[in-house]
Amino acid sequence: MRTVKTDVLIIGGGVVGSAIARELSRYRLDIAVLEKNMDICYETSGRNTGVCHGGFAYDVGSLKAKLCVEGNRMMDTLSDELDFPFRRCGKVLVGSTPEEYERLLEVIRQGEANGAAGLRMLDEGELQEKVPGVVGKFAMFSENSGILDPFGMTIALAENAVANGVRYYLEHEVTQIRREGDSYLVTAGNELFVTRWIVNSAGLNCGKISDMLGLTGYRLIYSKDDYILLDQRLGKNLPMPIYTVPSNTYMGIHVTLTTEGNVLLGPTAEDIDHPSGYGVEQKNLDYLYEEGQKLWPHFTKGDYIRTYCGILPKWVDDDGKIQDFKIEIRDDAAPHAVNLVGMESPALTASVAIARYVTAMMQERETFEDNPHFHPVRKGIARFSEMAPEEQQRRIAENPDYGELVCRCQKVTRAEILEAIHNPLGVKTVTGVKYRTRSMMGRCQGGYCQMRITQMLEEEFSLAETQVRYARPDSQMFYGKVREVEK
Ligand SMILES: Cc1cc2nc3c(=O)[nH]c(=O)nc-3n(C[C@H](O)[C@H](O)[C@H](O)COP(=O)(O)OP(=O)(O)OC[C@H]3O[C@@H](n4cnc5c(N)ncnc54)[C@H](O)[C@@H]3O)c2cc1C
C-alpha cells in the first residue's frame, strides 16, 4: 500500500468539499481531496435545483441563514472569477389565500432579520407582469435570488483548486480512519493517507465518516426529491423560478428554470431512512404533473425530456426535528478534524461561505501562511455557440475541430468535446464530458452525439469499447460485440 502525506485531507469532492479545497489553496498547505466516484458531481451537487437562494427561508440566527445570505452576496464575483453560469433573475413565492398572505409577510420579516435584501409583496397585476401566466393572487418577490449551473460551479471550484496545487483522487472511497499521534491515517483505494487535518464533507455519508472519526451520535434522515426536466422551448416563457408558500420544513413544489433554459418541475420530498438509488416512480411523475399544472399550466407531457432525483441528508434530533448545519471541530474528541453534518439545502448557494467559515475555524487553531501563487481566476471551456460570427470564423481557421458539430441540439463542437475529455481533474467518463460541455443535455438527450463522444473517449485514451464508462464503474457503454466484421 502506497503512503501519501498531506497537511489537509478533504473527504468528498462535491460543491462543499471543492469550495473548501479552493479556499484552503489560498494558503501554503499540501491538500488532497478524496472522492469515491469517477467524477465530483454524481451525488447531491449534481442533483439539485440550481437555485441561488435568498436566505429568507431559514430560522433567524441559524448557520443556514447566515451562510446562505453570505453565499448569495458573493455569487456575482464567484461566477465572474470562476466562469460558471449564474443569473440573478429573482424568484416569486405565490399564494392565493389570506393565510398564505400572512405566511408570506412572516417570511419577509424572517428574511429581513436574516439580512436578505430585496424582499417585497406583489399584487396580482405586478405578479402577472413579472411572471405572465402564473396561477396566484399575490406573491412574495425576492429580487436577489437567482439560478446557477450546479455542475459548472462544482467543477469550476475544483478546477481552480487544482490549478492552485490541490490534488484530487477520484475513485478513492474512504473505508477507515485511525488516529495515531498527531496524525490521521486514512485508508482509501490502495493508498494510506497520513494527514494532520481532516475534513468530513462526505454529503450523504457524513454520518459514516463522522462515526469513523469517533464523533458518534448524529441521527440522519434523508429526503428523496424527484424532478421532471422539461424542454428548453419553455424556458423563454419562464423569467424566474416560481415557488409555493413554504412550510417550516418543506419548500413546496416549484417550477424553476436552468441556466440552459430547461424548466424543472419538482420536488416530491419523500422521507427515507437510507439512500438507496436514484430511481423515479411513475406515481411521482403523475403527482408532479398535477401540482405543476396548478402553478404554471404551460407545459404538456410532450415537453418531458428526462427525470432525475436528488437526496438530501438531514440531521434531526431525537424528536425528528430538522437541525441546523453542524460545522464543528471537537478538540477533545477529534482534534484537527472539521466535521460537517447535514449539509442540505442551501449548501449549494452557501458552499463558499461554508468554506470560509471552515477556514476561519481552522485558523483559530493554526496560522496558515499565504500561498503567494494563489490565482482566483479560472476559465471554463469557451462556448462556440455563444461566440460572435467573426470569432467563430477565427476559431475555425485556427482549429478545424471548431468546424465540426458533435452535439447538434446544444451546438457543441468537436474542439469543445476534446477540451472536456482532457479536463484538469482527469475525469474520463461520458457524463464527465456532458457536465463540462452541455452535450447530451438537449432535446435528444444524447441520441445523436453520445456514441460519437464514446468513440472520441476510446480514441483519445486508447481504450477498448468495453472500457468506456457512462458514469460509474458498473455502467459500461458496451459489453462486447454483437458480431465481428471481417476486415
Ligand atoms: C433535490 C435537491 C434540490 C436542491 N436544490 C438546491 C438549490 O436550489 N439551492 C441550494 O443552495 N441547494 C440546493 N440543494 C442542496 C445542495 O445541492 C446540497 O446541499 C449540496 O450539493 C451538498 O454538497 P456536498 O458537497 O455536501 O454533497 P455531495 O455533492 O453529495 O458531495 C459529497 C461527496 O462525498 C463523496 N463521498 C461520500 N462518501 C465518501 C467516502 N467514503 N469516501 C470518499 N468520498 C465520499 C460523494 O461521492 C460525494 O461526491 C438541493 C439538494 C437536493 C437534493
* Cell digits of residue 31: 491538500
Does a structural domain hold residue 234? yes
Determine the Cα–Cα distance for residues 13 and 203; give it in Å rounded to an integer: 9
> What would the mean pLDDT of 34-40 be, rounded to a whole number?
98
Strand partners, 176: 187
Does a structural domain hold residue 68? no
Determine the pLDDT at residue 269: 86
Does a structural domain hold residue 226? yes
> What would the mean pLDDT of 106-111 be, rounded to a whole number?
96
Task: Please choose, from the candidates 128, 145, 129, the residue with its C-alpha nearest in 3D space to the C-alpha of residue 137.
Answer: 128
- How many domains does the chain contain in total? 2
Instruction: State the CATH number of the domain containing residue 236.
Output: 3.30.9.10
Does a structural domain hold residue 27? no
pTM for this predicted structure: 0.97
Task: State what percent of residues in the chain have pLDDT above 90.
Answer: 93
Pick from 316, 336, 365: which residue ends a domain? 316
Determine the Cα–Cα distance for residues 437 and 48; give it in Å rounded to an integer: 18
Does a structural domain hold residue 237? yes
Determine the Cα–Cα distance for residues 335 and 181; give it in Å rounded to an integer: 11
Task: Determine the distance separating the centroid of ligand 1 and the alpha carbon of 168, expressed in angstroms.
Answer: 17
Same domain, 305 and 423: no
Does a structural domain hold residue 260? yes
Determine the pLDDT at residue 286: 94
Determine the pLDDT at residue 147: 98
Residue 476 has pLDDT above 70, yes or no: yes
Determine the pLDDT at residue 443: 87
Give the residue whose CA is nearest to atom 49 of ligand 1.
Answer: 14
Same domain, 255 and 392: no
Find the distance separating the first CA and the last CA of the chain, reported in whole Å: 44
Give the residue whose CA is nearest to atom 41 of ligand 1.
Answer: 174
Task: Determine the distance separating the centroid of ligand 1 and the alpha carbon of 205, expressed in angstroms.
Answer: 10
Task: Determine the distance separating the centroid of ligand 1 and the alpha carbon of 400, expressed in angstroms.
Answer: 39
pLDDT in tens, 323-356: 999 999 999 999 999 999 999 999 999 999 999 9
Residue 250 has pLDDT above 70, yes or no: no
Residue found by looking up cell 480512519 in the block: 177
Pick from 286, 316, 346: which residue ends a domain? 316
Give the residue whose CA is nearest to atom 33 of ligand 1.
Answer: 12
Same domain, 279 and 400: no
Would you say the CB of residue 54 lies under 6 angstroms from ligand 1? Answer: no
Amino acid at 14: G
Same domain, 132 and 253: yes
Instruction: State the CATH number of the domain containing residue 417.
Output: 1.10.10
Does a structural domain hold residue 449? yes
Determine the Cα–Cα distance for residues 141 and 127; give it in Å rounded to an integer: 9
Q: Tell me the residue range of the domain where 98 lies.
A: 87-146+220-316
Task: Determine the distance separating the centroid of ligand 1 and the alpha carbon of 345, expressed in angstroms.
Answer: 9
Would you say the CB of residue 395 lies under 6 angstroms from ligand 1? Answer: no
Poorest-pLDDT segment among 263-277, 286-300, 321-335: 263-277
Give the residue whose CA is nearest to atom 25 of ligand 1.
Answer: 14
Determine the pLDDT at residue 484: 81
Question: Considering the chain, what is the average pLDDT of its residues?
Answer: 96
Task: Determine the distance separating the centroid of ligand 1 and the alpha carbon of 138, expressed in angstroms.
Answer: 33
> Nearest 10 degrees: CA dihedral of 363, 18, 312, 56?
60
Determine the pLDDT at residue 246: 81
CA-only gyration radius of the chain, Å: 23
Task: Determine the distance separating the centroid of ligand 1 and the alpha carbon of 411, expressed in angstroms.
Answer: 29
Same domain, 116 and 233: yes
Same domain, 135 and 226: yes
Same domain, 140 and 229: yes
Give the residue whose CA is nearest to atom 46 of ligand 1.
Answer: 12
Task: State what percent of residues in the chain have pLDDT above 70.
Answer: 99
